Amino acid sequence: MVKRAGVGFYIFLIIFVFLVMFPFIWVFLTSIKPQGEIFSSFQWFSSNMTLDNYASALETRPLLMYMLNSFVVATLTTIISIIVASFTAYAVTRLPIRFKGLILGLVLAASMFPQIAVLSPIFNFVTDAGLRNSYLGLVIPYITISLPLAIWILSTFFIKIPLALEESAKLDGATPFQTFRKIIFPLAAPGVFTTAILVFIAAWNEYLFALTINTDDRWRTIPVGISFYQSQYTVPWGDITAATVIVTIPIVVLVLLFQRRIVAGLTSGSVKE
Amino acid sequence: MKQPKKRRFQLSERQLGYAMVAPSIILIAVIIIWPIMLSAWNSLFDYRLNDPAKAERISSLSINLETYADNRYLVYDTLEDVRDAMPDAGGTLDDIITALDEQHETLLNTDEGLADRYEEVNTMLDNFQPVNDEELRLVEVPEEWADGFANTLDEQTAAVQALREGAPEEAVQPLTDLESQLSNTQGSILEPNFVGLKNYTTYLGDGRTWTAMLNTLLFTVVTVGVELAVGLAVALLINRVFIGRGLVRAAVLVPWAIPTAVAAMMWTFLFDGQSGIMAHYMAQFGLIDDPGALLSTGAGGMFSIMFADIWKTTPYMALLLLAGLQTIPRSLYEAAEVDGANKFQQFISITLPMIRSAILVAVLFRALDAFRVFDLIYVLTGGGPANSTESISVYAYKLLFEQQNFGAGSALSVIVFLSVALLSTIFIKLIGSELFSGRLKQ
Residues B65 and B57: their CA atoms lie apart, in Å, by 15
Whether the per-residue pLDDT at B8 is higher than 60: the answer is: no
Using left for φ > 0, alpha for ψ between -120 and 50, and beta otherwise, residue A3 falls in: beta
Strand order in the sheet with B62-64: B138-140, B62-64, B189-190
Mean pLDDT value across chain B: 86
CA distance A117 to chain B (A): 5
Whether the per-residue pLDDT at B198 is higher than 60: the answer is: yes
CA-angle at B365, arms to B362 and B366, nearest 5°: 80
3 state DSSP class of B305: helix
Indicate yes or no: CB of B259 within 8 angstroms of CB of A207: yes
Fold observed for domain A61-266: MetI-like fold (1.10.3720)
Interface test with B, best of A271, A272, A273 (most B CBs within 10 A): A271
Q: Which residues of A touch B420 (CB under 8 A)?
A: 112-114
Q: Are B250 and B262 in contact (CB under 8 A)?
A: no
Predicted confidence at residue A144, as pLDDT, reads 92
* A contact residues 230-269, partner B, Cβ 8 Å cutoff: 230, 235, 237, 240-241, 244, 247-248, 251-252, 254-256, 259-260, 262-263, 266-267, 269
Q: Where does the pLDDT of residue B9 fall: very low under 50, low under 70, confident under 90, or very high at 90 and above?
A: low
CA distance A233 to chain B (A): 14
Q: Which residues of B touch A29 (CB under 8 A)?
A: none
- Partners of B189 in beta bridges: B63
Residue B298: exposed, middle, or buried by beta-carbon count in 10 A (0-12, 13-18, 19+)?
middle
Whether A3 has its CB under 8 Å from any CB of chain B: the answer is yes
CA distance A73 to chain B (A): 15
Whether the per-residue pLDDT at B240 is higher than 90: the answer is: no
Q: Are B139 and B117 in contact (CB under 8 A)?
A: yes
Q: CB-hemisphere CA count at 13 Å for B412?
A: 28
Q: Where does the pLDDT of residue A37 fall: very low under 50, low under 70, confident under 90, or very high at 90 and above?
A: confident
Whether the per-residue pLDDT at B368 is higher than 80: the answer is: yes
> Nearest Cβ partner of A104 from B30, B259, B436?
B436
Q: Which residues of A touch B242 (CB under 8 A)?
A: 5, 9-10, 13
Q: What is the mean pLDDT of residues B164-193?
A: 84
Whether the per-residue pLDDT at A167 is higher than 60: the answer is: yes
Indicate yes or no: CB of B31 within 8 angstroms of CB of A144: yes
Q: What is the mean pLDDT of residues B255-284?
A: 90
User: Above pLDDT 90, what percent of chain A?
Assistant: 44
* B contact residues 343-372, partner A, Cβ 8 Å cutoff: 346, 351, 357-358, 361-362, 368, 371-372
Predicted confidence at residue B439, as pLDDT, reads 52
Domain with CATH 1.10.3720.10 in chain A: 61-266
Range from A111-125, A141-155, A193-207, A220-234 carrying the lowest mean pLDDT:
A220-234
Q: Where does the pLDDT of residue A269 fall: very low under 50, low under 70, confident under 90, or very high at 90 and above?
A: low
Predicted confidence at residue B432, as pLDDT, reads 64
DSSP of A216-262, one letter per residue? Answer: SGGG--HHHHHHTS--SS---HHHHHHHHHHHHHHHHHHHHHHHHHH
Q: Which residues of B touch A10 (CB under 8 A)?
A: 242
Whether the per-residue pLDDT at B25 is higher than 90: the answer is: yes
Q: How far is CA B48 from the centre of its chain?
A: 14
Task: Please enumerate in sequence order all residues whose Cβ is within 8 A of that of A68, keeping only pairs 6 or more positions apart, or say none.
Answer: none
Residue whose C-alpha is closest to residue A57's, from A44, A45, A69, A66: A66
CA distance A182 to chain B (A): 16
Fold observed for domain B201-436: MetI-like fold (1.10.3720)
Predicted confidence at residue B2, as pLDDT, reads 47
3 state DSSP class of A62: coil
Predicted confidence at residue B328, as pLDDT, reads 86
Which of A92-96, A136-140, A268-272 has maximum average pLDDT?
A136-140
Q: What is the mean pLDDT of residues A10-19?
A: 89
Which of B5-14, B302-311, B336-345 has maximum average pLDDT?
B302-311
Q: What is the mean pLDDT of residues B189-193?
A: 85
ipTM of the complex: 0.91
Polymer length in residues for chain B: 442
Q: Which residues of B touch A166 (CB under 8 A)?
A: none
Residues B356 and B228: their CA atoms lie apart, in Å, by 12
Q: Where does the pLDDT of residue A233 fall: very low under 50, low under 70, confident under 90, or very high at 90 and above?
A: low
More confident residue, B23 or B244: B23
Task: Please enumerate in sequence order all residues whose Cβ is within 8 A of that of B327, keeping only pairs 6 or more positions apart, or say none.
Answer: A271, A272, A273, B354, B355
Run of H or E residues at B62: strand B62-64
Q: Which residues of A touch B50 (CB under 8 A)?
A: none
CA distance B401 to chain A (A): 8
User: How many A/B residue pairs have CB atoms within 8 Å?
Assistant: 312
Q: CB-hemisphere CA count at 13 Å for B1?
A: 2
Whether the per-residue pLDDT at B383 is higher than 80: the answer is: yes
Indicate yes or no: CB of B323 within 8 angstroms of CB of A38: no
Interface test with B, best of A247, A270, A273 (most B CBs within 10 A): A270
Q: What is the mean pLDDT of residues B343-361?
A: 85
DSSP of B100-158, one letter per residue? Answer: HHHHHHHHHHHSTTHHHHHHHHHHHHHTT-----HHHHEEE--HHHHHHHHHHHHHHHH
Indicate yes or no: CB of A17 within 8 angstroms of CB of B374: no
Predicted confidence at residue A273, as pLDDT, reads 39
Q: What is the mean pLDDT of residues B201-206?
A: 89
CA distance A95 to chain B (A): 6
Whether the per-residue pLDDT at A177 is higher than 50: the answer is: yes
Whether B316 has its CB under 8 Å from any CB of chain A: the answer is yes
Q: Which residues of B touch A108 (CB under 8 A)?
A: 435
Q: Are B64 and B71 in contact (CB under 8 A)?
A: no
CA-angle at A161, arms to A158 and A165, nearest 5°: 125
- Partners of B63 in beta bridges: B139, B189
Whether A36 has its CB under 8 Å from any CB of chain B: the answer is no
Q: Which residues of A touch B336 (CB under 8 A)?
A: none
Indicate yes or no: CB of A269 within 8 angstroms of CB of B361: yes
Q: What is the mean pLDDT of residues B254-276?
A: 91
Whether A88 has its CB under 8 Å from any CB of chain B: the answer is yes
DSSP of B306-370, one letter per residue? Answer: HHHHHHHHHHHHHHHHHHHHTTS-HHHHHHHHHTT--HHHHIIIIIHHHTHHHHHHHHHHHHHHH
Whether the per-residue pLDDT at A246 is higher than 70: the answer is: yes
* A contact residues 181-200, partner B, Cβ 8 Å cutoff: none
Mean pLDDT value across chain A: 87
Indicate yes or no: CB of A94 within 8 angstroms of CB of B441: yes
Residue whose C-alpha is closest to residue A38's, from A23, A25, A24, A53: A53
Chain A residue nearest residue B259, CA to CA: A205
From residue A49, alpha-carbon distances to A35, A36, A236, B266 in Å are: 10, 12, 17, 20
* B contact residues 212-271, partner A, Cβ 8 Å cutoff: 234, 237-244, 246-255, 257-270
| Residue-range domain boundaries for chain B | 62-190, 201-436
Predicted confidence at residue A91, as pLDDT, reads 92
Whether the per-residue pLDDT at B1 is higher than 60: the answer is: no
Predicted confidence at residue A1, as pLDDT, reads 45
User: Above pLDDT 90, what percent of chain B?
Assistant: 30
Q: Which residues of B touch A119 (CB under 8 A)?
A: 397, 400, 413
Q: Where does the pLDDT of residue B435 fall: very low under 50, low under 70, confident under 90, or very high at 90 and above?
A: low
Residue B341: exposed, middle, or buried by beta-carbon count in 10 A (0-12, 13-18, 19+)?
middle
Q: What is the mean pLDDT of residues B115-119?
A: 86
More confident residue, B216 or B131: B216
Q: What is the mean pLDDT of residues A133-160?
A: 91
CA distance B284 to chain A (A): 12
- Give phi and psi for B54, each to the nearest 5: -125, 15
Q: What is the mean pLDDT of residues A73-77?
A: 97
> Nearest Cβ partner of B416 from A90, A114, A230?
A114
Predicted confidence at residue A61, as pLDDT, reads 87
Run of H or E residues at B64: strand B62-64
Neighbours of B309 (CB within 10 A): 28
CA distance B162 to chain A (A): 43
Say whether the peptide bond before residue B385 is cis (omega within 30 degrees of 0): yes
Predicted confidence at residue A5, as pLDDT, reads 66
Neighbours of A120 (CB within 10 A): 27
> Nearest Cβ partner of B28 from A21, A42, A147?
A147
Whether the per-residue pLDDT at A17 is higher than 70: the answer is: yes
Indicate yes or no: CB of A230 within 8 angstroms of CB of B258: no
Residues B257 and B251: their CA atoms lie apart, in Å, by 10
Q: Which residues of A touch B311 (CB under 8 A)?
A: 20, 23
Q: What is the mean pLDDT of residues A44-56?
A: 84
Q: Which residues of A touch B307 (CB under 8 A)?
A: none
Predicted confidence at residue B69, as pLDDT, reads 87
